[in-house]
Every structure is written in structure tokens, then in C-alpha cells.
């Protein structure tokens, strides 16, 4: 991010990536610090099933096994190890640090990879549904600073209609996402009184708890 910014890219056009996953390794010695030698990727997670890669909710299960958690102060991120397995990842604390850096640097916002790798059910980490993504949401805010940018991207509309200016569903409502009570697959994006009908992908419904599309 700093490279692009220092080479002339407008900071407000750059989005900071936030990872809801971690990378795992098999330790090759008793050394457990950052940079310790490894013999290969860690075992595949029970759900993501990819060697060297765990979703955040799988990492939470690993921590429950009694893994030793360490905070890497220079990078402001955690890592953990148990027996021969080592994992580097992000958590709520590191997300909060990155959000503060993002805002201080004047970057345009955040992107996440990916929705389904966070604790979407809220049953693995004991931090509620989507703890990492909701940390971004609360850290960046949902008020005017995040929704008042000019020339918003055109919405995806389920019925072919466009946004309405100062009238319709969003007239008089605060900026934000609102459910369509007639169709769980649809929702409204209200921006400065303008109504933008939106829809979730097939098989998903709008979930008010996270203001996002979720499994039914």
C-alpha cells in the first residue's frame, strides 16, 4: 500500500486487503519464532481442506486445543503454535490496528477475503457472528464518512429499476442497508435519501445482523 501511495497512486483510490484466514506450517525444529524453519505446510483444515491454509474459524478451534498464542509487536499480528503446527493469522486486535493505520494513511477503504472464512455462524470463536468483518464495519463506521462519496457505483437491481433520488423507500431514512420485507433475497441500499434496490446471489438472503448476504 505504501509503495503504490509513494509512487503517486491517490490514497483514496486504494483499498486495504484484510484476510480472514491464516497460513500454517510444520515446524522443523524447536524454534517457534517468526522465521523458524519449516518442513512444509500444515495439515489441511477439517472444512477448508487445503494444506497450509485455515479459515479463521478453524484457527479458533486450533487455539482451543491449548495452542500458545504470541503477539508479534513489529507486525502487530498474532501467531500460534501447538506441537509441530505453527499458524500466522489476523484477529480482532490486529484488524483494529490495521483499521487505525488505514484511516491515518487516508486510504479509500477495505476489502475482505473472504466472507465465508470468518466465523459466519458465531459458534467457533465465541465472538459473535462475523467477528472480523464486523470489526472492520465498526472501525470504519457506517455514517456519512463511508457512504457520502459522490458518484457511487451503479447498483445491481433485481427488477431492472434504477436508484430514485430523494424519494421512494429511502426517503427520510438514514444511510445504510435495509431489508426488503417482501423478498428476503432483496434489500435496499440507502444513500443520502436515494433508493438503490439490490439483491443477493442465488441461494442467499439478506441478514440484518451483519447487513450482508448470508445463507438462509
pLDDT tens digits, residue range 157-212?
333 334 444 458 899 999 888 999 999 999 998 888 888 898 888 888 999 888 88
Residue 216 predicted with pLDDT over 80: no
Q: What is the rounded CA–CA span in Å between residue 189 and residue 108?
A: 19
Angle between helices 131-140 and 92-105 (to 10 degrees): 30
**Residue ranges of the chain that CATH labels 2.170.140.10:** 154-216
Classify domain 154-216 at the CATH class level: mainly beta
Q: Which residue, among 23, 15, 16, has the nearest Cα to 78 in the 3D structure? A: 23
Where do the H-state alpha helices sit in 20-122?
A: 56-64, 92-105
Averaged over 80-87, what is the pLDDT? 97
Q: Does 39 have pLDDT greater than 70?
A: yes
* pLDDT of res. 168: 83
Query: What pLDDT sits at residue 152?
Result: 36
End-to-end CA distance of the chain: 36
Task: Specify the CATH architecture of the domain 1-141.
Answer: Roll (3.10)
Question: Tens digits of per-residue pLDDT, 111-159?
Answer: 999 999 999 999 999 999 999 999 999 999 843 332 233 333 333 333 3
Would you say residue 76 has pLDDT above 70?
yes
Instruction: State the span(s) of the chain assigned CATH 3.10.50.10.
Output: 1-141
Amino acid at each position: 500500500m505504501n509503495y503504490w501511495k509513494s509512487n503517486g497512486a491517490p490514497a483514496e483510490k486504494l483499498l486495504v486487503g484484510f484476510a480472514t484466514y491464516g497460513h500454517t506450517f510444520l515446524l522443523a525444529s524447536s524454534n517457534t519464532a517468526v522465521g523458524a524453519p519449516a518442513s512444509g505446510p500444515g495439515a489441511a483444515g477439517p472444512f477448508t481442506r487445503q494444506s497450509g491454509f485455515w479459515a479463521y474459524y478453524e484457527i479458533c478451534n486450533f487455539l482451543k486445543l491449548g495452542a500458545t498464542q504470541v503477539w508479534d509487536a513489529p507486525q502487530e499480528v498474532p501467531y500460534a503454535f501447538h506441537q509441530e503446527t505453527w499458524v500466522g493469522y489476523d484477529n480482532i486486535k490486529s484488524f483494529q490496528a490495521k483499521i487505525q493505520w488505514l484511516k491515518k494513511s487516508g486510504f479509500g477503504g477495505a476489502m475482505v477475503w473472504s466472507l465465508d472464512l470468518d466465523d459466519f455462524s458465531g459458534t467457533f470463536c465465541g465472538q459473535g457472528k462475523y467477528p472480523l468483518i464486523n470489526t472492520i464495519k465498526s472501525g470504519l463506521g457506517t455514517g456519512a464518512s463511508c457512504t457520502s462519496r459522490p458518484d457511487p457505483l451503479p447498483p445491481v437491481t433485481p427488477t431492472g429499476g434504477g436508484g430514485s433520488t430523494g424519494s421512494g423507500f429511502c426517503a427520510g431514512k438514514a444511510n445504510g442497508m435495509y431489508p426488503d420485507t417482501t423478498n428476503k433475497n432483496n434489500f435496499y441500499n440507502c444513500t443520502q435519501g436515494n433508493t438503490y434496490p439490490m439483491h443477493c446471489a442465488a441461494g442467499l438472503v439478506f441478514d440484518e445482523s451483519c447487513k450482508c448476504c448470508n445463507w438462509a
